Chains A and B, each alone.
Chain A
């Protein structure tokens, strides 16, 4: 297989686990679920009391179908348990702490045992190998190192497959570009908003990201983004872009990942049980229906979580994938039930607006949604430098086009502000798209 072909069909990190027959997979899942339930019931007082309230003991869970009898765990539960309340092993057996910050209140403390670190690296390794990254690759890791899991977990996984990792972190964008040029970087791990920013910076510096660099692929995560944005990034850099999904509570990135077919992300079901629920009622939905992803960790030691509500909206894609992996896929994250906002009584995800903006010529990559009242949405979009022609009528037309197309998508007609390129804050981590100034 040629090194330049990233579609390395048949490349597996843990082949047996990845193509395991569903019946064996389910037997394995049940075994690990029981172990996990025993562990949390005996070691985590929070779970013991939750189970008792539900009138359950771990022995009552005899099949995977019984899972839905168990109560959910929410991020509020994790905050309430801060700092050590959710720990299922002794502190001496924990080797790492990550936190996942919320916008308000205490962070969530997430602990890793040595085996948890090992497992999370293996999951990332599966993800990298199935998209063609391995020995000989140079991976520039442009996610935030630190309390956020995004960078570190990727780092360990990439080293595990033998890639040369550049722990660049985000920011210092000119240095990022020099690294890519000087070391012949072949892959990078980045947020979509930062990827777009870097690409426009390269163009300003006279570098054609598609021709002047050795990049072959990028792994994009940490923020939900649209298919239009993926295509745009693939086009600008001349690379393959793979979607990844993860959350600190479940090891960080590498929970679900796209294979070379780029059609949904395989969620590693030997490590996580997944359910899709109606976020309002908690009812479990059928495969294929859109709802909130709920995950139960099957192999986490330090801090197993039962039916954890991720707040991420997606759907299960139950069909078999051509790559041969038996782990079901989830669609790209369609939004976070947290990010969803309501204007004029309509449920709106920022991604719907992003999708419209990315399809309009004359608009640059950065945007913001400002909510001042419950009736009005203001969309602030930067105009594209290259398409400015000095004609005010064209800008007025652009303004109307944006407003009309957004209304067609979300029913509500927004007020549109056109901004100078660079007017909005540049995100080097997670982009803040919605500014909610409303008061109840």
Chain B
């Protein structure tokens, strides 16, 4: 099971913050594969799956952003009706609770990844080791 890392960015909820991030990525040639934004009570967290996550982390930090690198499960699913259901069924059967999730579509109508944050990733990995799930493959980046 390959490890996939996401970049989380803390941001006040105000105009221009995303634009600043995308501007930095544009300059550095960093490609955003998937993005999730959660906001509440005047602030938010932007989660990004990018092709060069170490570079993204360093560059955002250099520009004064508050950032964190963390691991997510990247579970392969079919990009077709029922695809998410299959995956979520397995997670639910195994008793794995999703803290946060978003999707990276690799091939439209064919293949996507469900990016899942869980409380204890090591444990989740162990539990899922024998399941029918496919995980992230390097060539997809």
Contact = CB atoms under 8 A, between A and B. Distances in A.
A392 B45 contact: yes
A421 interface: yes
Kindly state the interface size class of chain B when it binds its partner.
20 to 34
A396 B38 CA distance: 12
B14 to A, nearest CB: 9
B124 interface: no
B10 A420 contact: yes
A385 B41 contact: no
Contact of B66 (A385, A392, A399, A417): A385
A388 B68 contact: yes
B66 A421 contact: yes
Interface string B17-54: 00000000000000000000010111111010000000
B90 to A, nearest CB: 24
Contacts of B68: 388-390
Nearest to A386: B66
Contacts, number: 48
A411 to B, nearest CB: 22
Interface string A29-47: 0000000000000000000
Contacts of B67: 388
Interface in A258-291: none
Contact of A392 (B12, B38, B64): B38
B43 A395 contact: yes
Contacts of B6: 390
B102 interface: no
A422 interface: yes
A399 B8 contact: no
A390 B6 CA distance: 10
B70 interface: yes
Given A390-B8, A419-B12, A423-B12, A383 B66 contact: yes
A418 B12 CA distance: 7
A165 B71 CA distance: 51
Contact of B70 (A385, A390, A422): A390
B11 interface: yes
A422 B68 CA distance: 17
A388 B44 CA distance: 12
B136 interface: no
Nearest to B6: A390
A396 B70 CA distance: 19
Given A388-B66, A388-B68, A389-B70, A418 B40 contact: no
Contacts of A383: 10, 66
Interface string A407-431: 0000000000111111100000000
B87 to A, nearest CB: 22
Interface in B44-83: 44-45, 47, 64-68, 70
Contacts of B12: 417-420, 423
Nearest to A421: B66
A383 B66 CA distance: 9
A388 B68 CA distance: 7
A421 B40 CA distance: 18
A422 B66 CA distance: 10
Nearest to A422: B64
A418 B8 CA distance: 16
Contacts of B65: 420
Contact of A420 (B8, B11, B38, B70): B11
Nearest to A384: B66
A220 to B, nearest CB: 27
A72 B12 CA distance: 48
Contact of A417 (B38, B40, B42, B99): B42
Contacts of A422: 64
A395 B42 contact: no
A418 B67 CA distance: 15
Contact of B40 (A390, A391, A392): A392
- Shortest beta-carbon contacts, A-B, top 6: A390-B8, A390-B68, A388-B66, A418-B43, A392-B45, A385-B66
Interface of B: 6, 8, 10-12, 38, 40-45, 47, 64-68, 70, 99
9 contacts: A385-B66, A388-B67, A389-B68, A392-B38, A399-B41, A417-B42, A420-B66, A421-B64, A421-B66
